[in-house]
Amino acid sequence: MEPTTTRDAWQQAYARVESGLRAGGVDVIATAASLEELEGRRVEFLGRSSALTLLLKDLKNLGLDDRRELGPQAQALKAAVEQKFALRHAELENAADGAALQKDAVDLTLPSLRPPRGRLHPLTTTLSAIADIFQRMGYSWAEGPFAEDERHNFSALNIPDDHPARDSHDTFYLTGLPLLLRTHTSTVQIRAMEAQQPPIRIVCPGRVFRHEQIDATHSAVFHQVEGLVVDQNVGFADLKGHLQTFLESLLGKDTKTRFRPSYFPFTEPSTEVDAKCFFCSGAGCPSCKHTGWIELLGAGVVNPKVLSNVGWDPEKWSGFAFGIGVERVAMLLHGVPDIRDFYINDLRFLRQFDEDIA
Ligand code: PHE
């Protein structure tokens, strides 16, 4: 093939391209801000219609000797430009990778989200706290049914048919059955004594039912923890000692309590224990019905008639019993002014007791 380009013409063209690149053209490669921009530059400097490519193509129009001599020089120029592209390309790709990593980065030191979980109801934790103290004092655990007969709820506890005490227990009777919903956990005293021989030392936690006017301190369904101790030579002093130990352990030494004479057909003598009203500190308010005190429990020395009723010899055995209102204790412990808050399942109320879960 005859040469169509002269050596001179080609060399002049080469010098133009080279000085063009040197005069700043190449620098824009190194400063391309993005891969897209860099690709634009690649097309401009190395693309099919770029001056450099055309120059290389034109090599074939030179004579063989000229081509051998000038070709490598042009190839070296091309390689130098390509190297600059490769360099910038790697830089930009690294930066893009880094940015992507940054964007999707997971901070493993962040605290994790807490999965939603159940929590114990404040009445459950209060009931456990009460039962735990008595279990540490050597009491064992006993339970009885909600639906009871008249004997376990009343007559065996020395509350005969016509006794006015029955009126104070507004009772739910089950229609068509000789049963009622127990009005107190004292039923379990009778059941436990029927089932075993003395001595006995038990706590009986559970739900009780009264057809009562509902207000800030009364509910138709509530909870009690019954206690019963029967042994030889057990009397009121033992009752007081046990209850004082219990109250101090549950409420702390600083909570003021008082023992007040009272009456229950199944205990003699009887007492009720109040705590100083925790809302008004004793000044009188709706929560304590303006008395300054809130009743926590009823108690007394087991009436000998109750022992006889279950066939235990009252000459040989004696004991004491108590019934603690779980809701009252929970109100006292947590400063809850209205008993109804425990039953309406308002999560805003219930979530306050998170920290009670061990
Ligand atoms: N059962 C009584 C009540 O519910 C409480 C009580 C229990 C009193 C044991 C004395 C002894 O009111």
Q: List pLDDT tens digits, range 275-285.
A: 998 788 889 98
* C-alpha 123 – ligand 1 centre gap (Å): 19
Q: Which residues, 6 or more positions from 332, have their beta carbon under 8 angstroms from its beta carbon?
A: 251, 255, 275, 278, 294, 296
Tokens of residue 291, six digits:
């008395």
Q: Residue range 49-74: average pLDDT?
A: 86
Which pLDDT score, from 0 to 100, does residue 100 have? 87
Choose which residue among 202, 207, 264 to substitute to test ligand 1 binding: the one with the highest number of ligand atoms within 8 A of its C-beta: 264
Burial class (CB in 10 A: 0-12, 13-18, 19+), 113: exposed
Q: Which atom of ligand 1 is nearest to the CA of 183?
A: 4
- 90-137 tens-digit pLDDT: 888 998 888 888 888 888 888 888 787 788 999 999 999 999 999 999
| Tokens standing for residue 189 | 């005293």
Q: Tell me the pLDDT band of 2, cut-offs 50, 70 and 90.
A: low
* pLDDT computed for residue 3 by the predictor: 65
Residues lining ligand 1, Cβ inside 6 A: 184, 186, 264, 267, 298-300, 321-323
User: What's the CA-to-centroid distance between 318 and ligand 1, angstroms?
Assistant: 17
Mean pLDDT of 325-352: 91
Q: How large is the average pLDDT for residues 327-347? A: 92
- Supply the pLDDT for residue 105: 85
Give residue-wise pLDDT tens across range 242-274. Answer: 999 999 999 988 889 999 999 999 999 999 999
DSSP 244: H
Domains and CATH numbers, the chain: 7-103 (no CATH), 122-357 (3.30.930.10)
Q: Pick the most confident of 162-166, 209-213, 285-289, 313-317.
A: 313-317
Mutation pick for ligand 1 pocket among 224, 236, 268, 320 (CB with most ligand atoms within 8 Å): 224
Nearest Cα to 137, choosing from 234, 232, 203? 203
Give the pLDDT confidence score for residue 191 in this predicted structure: 98
Question: How many Cβ atoms sit within 10 Å of the Cβ of residue 268?
Answer: 16
181 Cβ contact list (under 8 Å, min separation 6): 146, 147, 148, 171, 172, 174, 208, 209
CA angle 91, 97, 99 (to 5 degrees): 100
Q: Which residues does residue 294 pair with via DSSP β-bridges, in sequence order?
A: 275
Percent of the chain with pLDDT over 90: 51
Q: 168 CA to middle of ligand 1, Å? A: 12
Interacting residues of 252 by C-beta distance below 8 A, sequence separation 6+: none
Identify the bridge partners of residue 295 per DSSP, sorted by sequence position. Answer: 274
> In the chain, pLDDT over 70 holds for what percent of residues?
96
